[in-house]
Amino acid sequence: MRPVSASGGHCDALDRALGAFRATAPHSVDRWGELLAAVLTGGGRLLAAGNGGSAAQAQHLTAELVGRYRDDRPPFSAIALHADTSSTTAIANDYGIDEVFARQVRAHGRPDDILMLLSTSGASANLLAAAEAARESGLHVWALTGPAPNPLAAAADEVLAVEAPATATVQELHLVAVHMVCEAFDAALERGWGAKGRRRPVDPAGTPEPAPARGAGGGPHALQAGLVRRTPDDVPRGGRRHE
């Protein structure tokens, strides 16, 4: 019998995680696409952030919305917060690394906008601070994380948690989720959320399934079972850096 190569073991790990992901992700991601269409066609904005490889994933998402995913359509407002190097370095220098995203959320975010946070560990202090700033500003907080429970899953309104032990596998499935969100977003536009670029009132709760009340956490449409919204005092802020 031929030994399993390192690359073969990597593919096996991805295949195992993909099975669980396929069982739960599509319905959840379809709903995200519909809510995102409601917000962006109403003149709202998506903010996204991550660290390291997750920063690249977040920027991939915003690029697909400002540009296009597959077919031509109007551009929509989406900002990757880490991409502004002058702002991030100035904020880190003056306020500390934990504030690099939170301060930008307060600057760019408006009530009913969406903040998407990506983290393989779900423990990055600067993302937790961004989630807190978003809640204070009235934004919806979505998270793509690794295995739950984790602090970011608890701090978000809705979370899609990838159950995989390896960081690389989590990141690979985060990219799958990003593409699925973009596909669901475009499909929602085609169904009438503004495919011709028209503006509609911002009403995410007006989609086929009403969203839970803000602050309700873990409601019937939460993407991670048992999720409970935390108050700012409950969210860990210290500790070592995580991606």
The residues facing 49 across adjacent strands are: 117
Positive or negative: CA dihedral 168, 152, 211, 78: negative
Lay out the sheet containing 78-80: strands in order across.
78-80, 46-50, 114-119, 140-145, 158-161
pLDDT at 2: 53
In single-letter form, the type of residue at position 146 comes to: G
Decide: 122 and 236 in contact? Cβ < 8 Å. Answer: no
* pTM of the complete model beyond 0.85: no
CA gap 187, 210 in Å, rounded: 19
206 pLDDT above the threshold of 50: no
User: Nearest to residue 221, comparing CAs of 15, 44, 29?
Assistant: 29
User: With 80 as the cut, is the pLDDT of residue 61 above it?
Assistant: yes
Cα 172 from chain centroid?
14
Q: With contact defined as beta carbons under 8 Å apart, do 232 and 155 qualify? A: no
